[in-house]
Amino acid sequence: SIPLSFFAGLGGASNAGVLVKGSNYMETLSQTKCVVFDKTGTLTQGVFEVNAVHHNKMDQKKLLEYAALAESASSHPISRSIQKAYGQEIDRSRVSDIQEISGNGVTALVDGIAVAAGNSKLMDRLGIPWIDCHHAGTIIHMAVDGEYAGHIVISDIEKPHAKEAVKALRAAGIEKLVMLTGDSRKVAEHVAADLGIDEVHAELLPADKVEEVEKLLAKKPQKAKLAFVGDGINDAPVLSRADIGIAMGAMGSDAAIEAADIVLMDDDPLKIAKAIRISKKCIRIVY
Ligand code: ADP
Ligand code: MG
């Protein structure tokens, strides 16, 4: 039978907006020594601001229009920000052959012309030479009709409690903090340094994130548990693979919430340390 104090612990957690799917996770959580984060939507808001549209030969407005049309079927936060910056109705009859390449970007036919919008890896795949621009932010490169057409600079902002969350985790006994992201190395390193994260791996595809977590699991002592915190559809496999999977509940994808053991109802990363403290108190009462 499950000791009564486990339920007390779960009650305390749910009052704090932390949903624990089973009492066994309290014990694992109390033994967590390493916390691995996804970046976008977990430590950052995943609400991108379009900062600038840089173009080669094309009219700036036209470039943004191509981007918005090519991105019109995507639900990625980057797509949503481009739609917002474009600010006009999308005539979907102008777009066909849309393909979203996970962790890379999108390709589509717009008015019958081939358009690609995404990171440098997407340009490499398409054999389009891209220009390395030194902007602080995520760069969305654009190719139109087989030629490099310019880029859109967008930036994501850290969640208000992200820095505090990192400090609180150290205070709660976490020894290692890792960030995994599909975003560029430059952006990832900037965020990690600002937040005080120990280790960062960037430009990862969803399968690479699972691989990184498996490496971390293989390296650590058996008794020290690893938690992964994420929000996206892409994160579901890693959430299942970690000793403890923690999902963002408010803006997070259904797949992430489904795969997780613990759900943070308000997407506040500060709640991770709170949950760990509650779990430790709860375990002390039981034993
Ligand atoms: P994260 O791991 O930070 O949650 P993703 O794996 O969702 O990020 O995306 C990684 C990168 O792939 C983005 O930073 C962007 O460069 C590119 N990308 C993904 N989806 C899109 C899209 N719809 N449009 C343009 N670029 C995209
Ligand atoms: Mg994410």
Question: pLDDT digits over 61-73, tens only?
Answer: 999 999 999 999 9
Pairwise pLDDT comparison (251 vs 179), residue with the higher score? 179
Active site residue 194: no
Over residues 55-80, the mean pLDDT reads 90
Catalytic residue among 38, 261, 267, 268: 38
Ligand 1 proximity of 122 Cβ (cutoff 6 Å): no
pLDDT in tens, 5-48: 555 556 677 777 889 998 889 999 999 999 999 999 899 988 77
The answer on pLDDT for 3 being more than 60 is no
> Ligand 2 centroid vs 131 CA: distance in angstroms?
26
Which atom of ligand 1 approaches the CA of 117 most closely? 25
Report the predicted TM-score, pTM, of the whole model to 2 decimal places.
Answer: 0.84
Distances (CA, A) of 171 to 31, 205, 226, 272, 282: 14, 32, 17, 12, 18
Ligand 1 proximity of 65 Cβ (cutoff 6 Å): no
> Ligand 1 centroid vs 18 CA: distance in angstroms?
28
DSSP track, 48-91: -EEEEEEESSS-HHHHHHHHHHHTTT--SHHHHHHHHHH-S---
> What topology does CATH give the domain 4-45+159-286?
Rossmann fold (3.40.50)
| Protein residue closest via CA to atom 4 of ligand 1 | 40
| Dihedral Cα 74, 80, 81, 83, nearest 10 deg | 80
Ligand 1 proximity of 119 Cβ (cutoff 6 Å): yes
Which atom of ligand 1 approaches the CA of 100 most closely? 23
Over residues 199-215, the mean pLDDT reads 95
3 state DSSP class of 102: coil
Please determine, for the modelled complex, whether the ipTM score is greater than 0.85: yes
**Angle 154-156-162 from CA coordinates, rounded to 5°:** 165
Pairwise pLDDT comparison (209 vs 12), residue with the higher score? 209
49-155 belongs to CATH 3.40.1110.10: yes
pLDDT in tens, 129-141: 998 877 778 899 9
Structural domain boundaries in the chain: 4-45+159-286, 49-155
Residues 6+ apart with CB under 8 A from 171: 273
What mean pLDDT, rounded, does the chain reach? 90
